[in-house]
Amino acid sequence: MSEEKKAVAAKTEKASKKADPVKASIDGATQQMILRAQELGVETVFDRAESMKPCNIGIQGTCCKNCAMGPCRLPLGKSGIEGEDERKGLCGASANTIAARNFIRMVAGGAAAHSDHGRSVAEVFMAAARKETGDYKIKDLDKLLAVAPHLGVATKVTVDGKEVDRDPDEIALEVGEKALNEWGKSEGELMYLQRAPKPLYEKWKKNGVLPRNIDREIVEIMHRTHMGVDQDYRNLIKQGTRAAIADGWGGSMLATDLQDILFGTPYPLQSEANMGIMKQDHVNIIIHGHEPILSEMIVAAAQSTEMVDYAKSKGAKGIQLGGICCTGNEILQRHGVPPAGTFLQQELAIITGACEAMVVDIQCIFQNLANVAKCFHTKLITTHPIAKMEQDNVIHIEFDEHHAMEDAKRIVRMAIDNFQNRKVEVMIPRQKSTQIAGFGVESIRYHLGGTFRGDYYTLNDNIINGRIRGIAGVVGCNNARTTHNSDHITIIKELIKNDVIVLTTGCAGIACGMHGLLTPETAAVYCGAGLAEVCETVGIPPVLHLGSCVDNSRILLAATEVVKAGGLGKDICDLPAAGSAPEWMSEKAISIGQYFVTSGVYTVFGLHLPVTGAPVFQDYLFKDLEKIYGGMWDCEADPIKHAHKMIAHIDKKRKALGIDKARERVLMDMADRQKLEAM
């Protein structure tokens, strides 16, 4: 064989490497569908992760491609740097500058994604407030009244010397205007910053990181990271902080609030999770992406008698909706529509052969969906003007809020018409689990609040007495570079075993649902005695699913409520709490990490962080930020060590609060615990 032929053969063999299903995922349904894909000759992300390795320099964060003299690559050797670090790009940029630029560009990408989603919601909100659309209405008046003061909108007016309730339509209009203004106002600072605990707000002010408006902070990152502008990693990360705060306490928080007002604030409800929710004899429609604007309409359309009857006329028993990613979480928390899977299962839902239509909007959508859909009868429908696909089998139905229901019905009808076109033998895995989802600031108050004392009294009281050791936020993506769901589930089980209550969102939340961690019964099986007792008493799961990734803003506000309820310090950084993103992959995760850290939370990421090539910058993130904001980054790939780093931080905070002794007694024996209760 000639050298050339040998090279081609080697390349083909390498390219056709197949994933080992057992190494790829801990979920039986996913394993089964990876095998099914391989049997049918359909390539998935799991196979591609085998045949393509990540770039060894990019992974360290030290590849600069911000100008055409590069890319300049500054790898850090295994033995590190001895003496002065003399690595530099053509312009002289140091490894720290390059890594910091890359890092905050990720923040910009993430903050832009969350915030632009928020802006779309705000625009639909305005259309509803102006009554330009009959399809969207203000659904949650209580939430409107609760949010209005935070945007400086009055809910009362004085008429003839008497104070009376203001017309809700007027309030909605002003809330919409004020909210939209947050993206581009010319002066001042974001209004929601005042919702943070006072000491945190003061910290941001002192350090000059109060965001002025949402868009400006993102634009400024792009400017500062342009060739030859900001060359100090500390100054760069300062702007990253400003943009990240504009995401968490701005764009994301506005998205959550306006969605709640428009579509209803979620309350706990029962549903299921995993691919077993798809039904062979139903028309299956999978909704994937992030914005709930269209999906709300699809849910309503699919439940209408007109569409159900139409499905029956085509030989189906009904219509089964399923979610993937955060649009899935949105329709789960408000309507109980079950998620069919996480980010990494999107291709697999089509490979069942039973997906009549996959409807996608924005973010986390694989372009390979189009290639997979080609092998089946599935209609892949893009719906957003900013997110189209190049492949010609993709149908684009551009959604417009002014005729939302019409668009939704057109999509549902298209799926129904496709029911009889199934090609290959259908294979739907059986796995699915029951879950309770739909928690939020309001429902935590209901379940763990106090009637007469502070709002979050029961929660705080149980943290102080040690039954609950602390609070963890475990959130974020899946990543094909690690075993699907494994780190999420291992870390969360370890935390609840050690009496740490877990708040979850995003794909981590879906993973918890799939693996049965979202039921009150979970407590007796996996929790330490203290947390189990609390969960059993109030009837909640030890892992509370708070929704989509923009709903991480719910975690910020829940933490603020815990501070306000008293007894656990004066700021978020005083709380026995920690954050984690075990299987992160997206830029949004970096923005979330940065706003959690600079809101005072010790935040551990799994896998790796693209900062290892610049040890000085890494130290700044991992150590120095704590001195400024009270929170800091960390990274730990081993899931058990990862959980124990979080627990060690929680214990450090308990000690600082002087409540570590109560916890020690809880650990000793029952009699001590009873004594503690009597205190």
DSSP code of residue 191: G
Residue 474 binds to ligand BF8 (criterion: CB under 6 A): no
Residue 654 binds to ligand BF8 (criterion: CB under 6 A): no
Judged by beta carbon, residue 135 or residue 583, the one nearer ligand BF8 is 583
- Angle at Cα 22 formed by Cα 21 and Cα 27, nearest 5°? 90
Q: Which of 559, 546, 562, 384 is nearest to 476 (CA)?
A: 546
Q: Which of 362, 346, 359, 363 is nearest to 484 (CA)?
A: 346
Subset of 204-243 contacting ligand BF8 (CB under 6 A): none
Measured between its terminal Cα atoms, the distance across the chain in Å is 83
Min dist CB 5 to ligand BF8, Å, is 41
Residue 364 binds to ligand BF8 (criterion: CB under 6 A): yes
Subset of 543-562 contacting ligand BF8 (CB under 6 A): 548-549
Which of 476, 513, 530, 547 touches ligand BF8 (CB under 6 A)?
476
Residue 527 binds to ligand BF8 (criterion: CB under 6 A): no
Min dist CB 409 to ligand BF8, Å, is 26
Judged by beta carbon, residue 166 or residue 588, the one nearer ligand BF8 is 588
Min dist CB 333 to ligand BF8, Å, is 13
Residue 343 binds to ligand BF8 (criterion: CB under 6 A): yes
Judged by beta carbon, residue 470 or residue 476, the one nearer ligand BF8 is 476
Q: With 0-12 CB in 10 A as exposed, 13-18 as middle and 19+ as buried, what is 335?
A: buried
d(CA 83, CA 227): 27
Q: Which of 480, 658, 453, 433 is nearest to 566 (CA)?
A: 453
Residue 288 binds to ligand BF8 (criterion: CB under 6 A): no
Judged by beta carbon, residue 176 or residue 339, the one nearer ligand BF8 is 339
What is the identity of the amino acid at 245? I
Judged by beta carbon, residue 250 or residue 613, the one nearer ligand BF8 is 250
Judged by beta carbon, residue 89 or residue 251, the one nearer ligand BF8 is 251
Which of 99, 100, 209, 326 touches ligand BF8 (CB under 6 A)?
326
Residue 506 binds to ligand BF8 (criterion: CB under 6 A): yes
Min dist CB 508 to ligand BF8, Å, is 7
Judged by beta carbon, residue 366 or residue 617, the one nearer ligand BF8 is 366
Distances (CA, A) of 512 to 4, 211, 434, 502: 49, 34, 10, 11
Q: How many CA atoms lie within 13 A of 666 on its CB side?
A: 22
User: Number of residues in contact with ligand BF8, rule: CB under 6 A?
Assistant: 13
Contacts of 619 (CB under 8 A, 6+ apart): none
Min dist CB 293 to ligand BF8, Å, is 15
Residue 359 binds to ligand BF8 (criterion: CB under 6 A): no
Which of 507, 558, 635, 662 touches ligand BF8 (CB under 6 A)?
507
d(CA 110, CA 142): 30
Strand ranges in 388-457 using DSSP code E only, listed in sequence order: 394-396, 433-437
Min dist CB 363 to ligand BF8, Å, is 6
Min dist CB 593 to ligand BF8, Å, is 12
Length of the chain: 679
Min dist CB 505 to ligand BF8, Å, is 7
Backbone angle region of 189, left / alpha / beta, with phi > 0 → left and psi within -120 to 50 → alpha? beta
d(CA 64, CA 596): 27
Judged by beta carbon, residue 548 or residue 598, the one nearer ligand BF8 is 548
Judged by beta carbon, residue 347 or residue 561, the one nearer ligand BF8 is 347
- Angle at Cα 265 formed by Cα 300 and Cα 263, nearest 5°? 30
Q: Round the CA-based radius of gyration of the chain to a whole number and report it.
A: 25
Q: Dig out the tokens for 108 from the structure.
A: 């910009």
Min dist CB 247 to ligand BF8, Å, is 12
d(CA 462, CA 101): 43
Residue 441 binds to ligand BF8 (criterion: CB under 6 A): no
Judged by beta carbon, residue 366 or residue 419, the one nearer ligand BF8 is 366
Judged by beta carbon, residue 506 or residue 582, the one nearer ligand BF8 is 506
Which of 151, 287, 325, 502 touches ligand BF8 (CB under 6 A)?
325
Min dist CB 343 to ligand BF8, Å, is 4
Min dist CB 472 to ligand BF8, Å, is 16
Subset of 561-620 contacting ligand BF8 (CB under 6 A): 586, 588
- String of DSSP letters for 340-398: EE-GGGHHHHHHTS-EEEEEE-SSS--THHHHHHHTSSPEEEE-BTTB--SSTTEEE--
Interacting residues with ligand BF8 (CB under 6 A): 290, 325-326, 343, 364, 476-477, 506-507, 548-549, 586, 588
